[in-house]
Structure 1
């Protein structure tokens, strides 16, 4: 039996961004699912013990729980977190990285850099 595809979850309230990232991830052979809010993602994570993404891509600013709060609730899960944001605030960046995020990318980001960052996170390496 073959190895399952790595599974990446994208949490972003902008549907066009989520859709584009999901397409990009699937184009490189990864399984991807999107959520429009941190609340929806955490609800599925809590209700399905077998639901375990290999990496989570989080928008910083979203209605309801923001990305930093979702990251805080994932602490200790071992799931690598990559932040994406249109509002690059140095304090938020430092907080996210200090709390264990593997990367913090500003939108719009370069697809090649994003793919390298996700692959590094999945392999447990330092992102580019």
Structure 2
């Protein structure tokens, strides 16, 4: 049984790229277009990993993670940030909010797969 992953990003092309990279490895990938939808889907549970953008309309990735970490379904799920931001301050905020790891856009699909495998094996 392969892992189920939620990709949260306001860019459909980024979600598609994540889906293609991970589906090729046998993972199931669900999508959400912003933090509100991501929180709703992730809060319902059933995901082994969440990959989220930082800057999104309606609710950003940091807020989504903070809220998700207070819910039973989101408490222990690894969360990877996928963002154009590489600022150390933002990385520190993401870590404090409960992010597991970080990947800068544009991302290399092979690198994404490696990080996902590493996080899920931990």
TM-score using structure 2 length: 0.88
Contact 2:6 2:42 in 1 (8 A): no
Which has the bigger relative contact order, CA under 8 A and spacing at least 6? 2
RMSD of aligned residue pairs (Cα, Å): 1.5
Which residues of structure 2 form unaligned runs of 5+? none
Q: Which has the larger radius of gyration?
A: 1
Aligned length: 118
Aligned to 1:66: 60
Which residues of structure 1 form unaligned runs of 5+? none
Spell out, residue by residue over 1:32-54, the C-alpha distance to the aligned partner (whole angstroms, 9 max, x if none): 111101101222344x4xx3200
- 4+ aligned runs moved over 3 Å, structure 1: none
- C-alpha separation in 1, matches of 2:97 and 2:37: 22
TM-score using structure 1 length: 0.84
- C-alpha separation in 1, matches of 2:101 and 2:38: 20
- Please give the secondary structure, in 2, of the residue aligned with 1:79: coil
